Amino acid sequence: MTSKTAVVTGAARGIGLATTKLLLERGWKVAMIDRDGPALAEALQGLDGVHGIDCDVSDPEAVEGMIAETLREFGQIDALVNNAGVADFGPIEETSFARWKTVMETNLDGPFLCVQAATPALKATKGAVVNIASISGLRASTLRVAYGTSKAAVIQLTLQQAVELGEHGIRANCVCPGPVRTKLAMAVHSQEIIDAYHDAIPLNRYGSEQEIAEAILFLCSERASFITGQVLAADGGFEATGIGLP
């Protein structure tokens, strides 16, 4: 058990909510961050040791305020989980600049802004950053020009953070989930994509939110104290197959 504090973005549902619950089980306190106020209010019900903050991670001022509020509430930040994300699949010619920017703002600007704002607090605790990218950031495909590019950039952002912030004792790692049946995925995965994933993934199934949360928890924890700058695919073996994304 620990008495540490984590900030988890996109915590109102899906992988972020599962991560919050696992951290709480292991004794962490959690600042639950989400821009969906009603979903966040519902997620907070019945959870002890949490503080919810309605915040859009792509808004620099809101992010500064969110980190300040977390510090007022809990006094320290030991881990930052940059999990908030959006998906938008489409061919290059049909991806308007507005759609491209919407994806980049949450998926890439968000993790940059959150790390920047949290760095003084993370220096004080020699804390950990875990960025949630995707196997879509490791492999190119049709339909994922915005989403895949944003996630590939998150992987590089992780390496930058690990190299630059290591001298302060801050670790930065990245989890690349394979497919998980969350609201985000089910909005963009056609039946064709679902069937193709089942065939292609060596474990022949989608992952669960809890399985991704376990990888995140490990990288947040002291058990990963000499691990930084790593990209961990939690994907049922998909990356090992070398085949293209469906």
Which stretches of the chain bind ligand NAD, using CB under 6 A?
A: 9-10, 12-16, 34-36, 39, 56-58, 83-87, 106, 110, 132, 134, 177, 179-180, 182-185
CA geometry: angle at 210 spanning 102 and 189, to 5°? 45
Active site residue: 74, 112, 147, 206, which one? Answer: 147
- Nearer Cβ to ligand NAD, position 6 or 57? 57
- Nearer Cβ to ligand NAD, position 102 or 125? 102
- Nearer Cβ to ligand NAD, position 4 or 35? 35
113: tokens are 């802004």
Task: Give the integer Cα–Cα distance in Å for 220 and 172.
Answer: 9
- Nearer Cβ to ligand NAD, position 179 or 236? 179
What is the torsion angle, in degrees rounded to the nearest 10, for the CA atoms of residue 226, residue 231, residue 232 and residue 233? Answer: -170
Distance of CA 52 to the CA centre of its chain: 17
Contact partners, residue 140, CB within 8 Å, separation at least 6: 148, 244, 245
**Adjacent-strand bridge partners of 80:** 7, 129
Which amino acid does the sequence have at 244? G
Catalytic annotation on 147?
Answer: yes
C-alpha to C-alpha distances, 197 to 14, 24, 81, 181, 211, nearest whole angstrom: 19, 32, 26, 12, 17
- What is the DSSP secondary structure assignment for residue 129, as one 8-state letter? E
CB of 87 to ligand NAD, least distance (A): 6
CB of 35 to ligand NAD, least distance (A): 4
**Count of all residues that appear for the chain in the document:** 246
CB of 10 to ligand NAD, least distance (A): 3
CB of 15 to ligand NAD, least distance (A): 4
- Nearer Cβ to ligand NAD, position 57 or 121? 57
Task: Give the integer Cα–Cα distance in Å for 65 and 34.
Answer: 13
CB of 204 to ligand NAD, least distance (A): 16
Contact 177, 135 (CB under 8 A): yes
Which sequence positions are flagged as catalytic? 147
